[in-house]
Amino acid sequence: MTKKIAVLPGDGIGQEIVAEAVKVIKKLQADGLDVEMNEAPVGGTAYDISGSPLPDETLKLAKEADAVLLGAVGGYKWESLDISVRPEKGLLGLRKELGLFANLRPAILYPQLADASTLKPEIVSGLDIMIVRELTGGIYFGQPRGVKTLDNGEREGYNTLVYRESEVKRITEVAFDIARKRGKKVCSVDKANVLEVTEMWRDVVNEMHKDNSDIELSHMYVDNAAMQLVKEPKQFDVMVTTNMFGDILSDCAAMLTGSIGMLPSASLNEKGQGMYEPIHGSAPDIAGQNIANPLATILSVAMMLRYSLDEAAMADRIEKAVDKVLDDGLRTADIYSDGMKKVSTSEMGDAVVTAL
């Protein structure tokens, strides 16, 4: 049956990089990939058209799709809007409405780009980590939350870190499943020495491990995990952690690679439906100049093929094509170094299509 992809370019460079990813999908369609693409606005672009960063038609399209390809949202133009209609609400709304509880963020360092990292090449060369972050629970969503004024007039701010056993189980299951397809190692990151919630998290992960004993499991406190990520990052295969710890550690891991324009991400729900997007934002500083790196978005399509569309061979083809263009010395401005060939956004997209 024809699978459906909702294409949501969003704002800023989102428009340019998604156009290149669409070229790649069209090439694969010509080679037999049975998918249908439908495009809709989201973020500031959608607000300008309809007054909402997530119009009903866009949400409907996303819900009916097997997978969503998102560019990025946000920009200077919409920063002064009320928080309820800011572009970011479009993204949060999609995550919530689609129930995307598992955020997969790979940090891969292509050997061709080892110099782009601020760490020594021998520490990071060949790095390939997958961070599995819980995305719909924890302290970002826990109630009660807010700021209140105490009797003495002082303000007190509070948030609640809360996880149910079932939430820990489903994210752990995702981590074990992914590890099984990779290096078969999972490191669960918590703060079990201080936070009861994550002491329970650790217990649940250990219980789940009884039925997943083919996977090598370890546990690490989050402060140590942050340290180990910069000290000896190649010790990790899959890391699984809470929403806030994952937010911080995945940015840290991404920066190990030194090239924000190269990293894709996936967010999955219980039905295997997913939203796929580059980890970077809408880069308003370079929008409209045809200089953004489209590879993170193109690699997001590879993740989409692998995790939501059951087309692993097509995913492999995209990843090999990206490898080939890097081998050929093609570089957008963000990853350019002396001796390489500087190309525009659209030239990079064309080169990947040719390599395919």
* Interface residues toward ligand NAD, by CB under 6 A: 13, 17, 72-75, 88, 91, 260-261, 277, 280-286, 292-293, 296, 334
Which member of 177, 251, 323, 350 is catalytic? 251
Which helix or strand (DSSP H or E) is residue 199 part of? helix 196-209
66 is catalytic: no
> Residue 48 CB, nearest distance to ligand NAD (Å)?
15
Q: Quote the Cα angle for 70-143-186, to 5°.
A: 55
Nearer to ligand NAD, 226 or 255 (CB): 255
Whether 151 is catalytic is no
List the catalytic residue out of 23, 77, 140, 185. 140
Q: Which of 214, 223, 285, 327 is catalytic?
A: 223
Distance CA 54, CA 40 (A): 10
List of residues 6+ apart from 217 with CB closer than 8 A: 185, 186, 187, 188, 205, 206, 209
Q: φ, ψ for residue 24 (rounded to 5)?
A: -65, -45
- The residues facing 158 across adjacent strands are 146
User: What is the dihedral angle through the alpha carbons of 225, 226, 229, 230, rounded to the nearest 10 degrees?
Assistant: -140
Catalytic residue among 11, 191, 307, 334: 191
Q: How far is the CB of 282 from ligand NAD (least distance, A)?
A: 4
Instruction: From residue 2, give the alpha-carbon distance in Å to each of 6, 45, 267, 315.
Output: 13, 29, 22, 17
Nearer to ligand NAD, 1 or 83 (CB): 83
Task: Provide, rounded to whole angstroms, the least separation between the CB of residue 160 and ligand NAD.
Answer: 25
251 tagged catalytic: yes
Question: Which run of H or E residues covers position 35?
Answer: strand 35-39
The nearest distance, CB 235 to ligand NAD, in angstroms, is: 28
Q: Is 140 a catalytic residue?
A: yes
Closer residue to ligand NAD in complex, CB, 99/183: 99
Single out the catalytic residue among 11, 66, 237, 247.
247
214 a catalytic residue: no
353 and 27 Cβ atoms separated by less than 8 Å:
yes
Whether 102 contacts 95, CB under 8 Å = no
Instruction: Return the number of the residue (205 or 268) whose C-beta is nearest ligand NAD.
Output: 268
Cβ proximity to ligand NAD, 74 vs 137, nearer residue: 74
CB of 90 to ligand NAD, least distance (A): 9
> Catalytic positions, please?
140, 191, 223, 247, 251
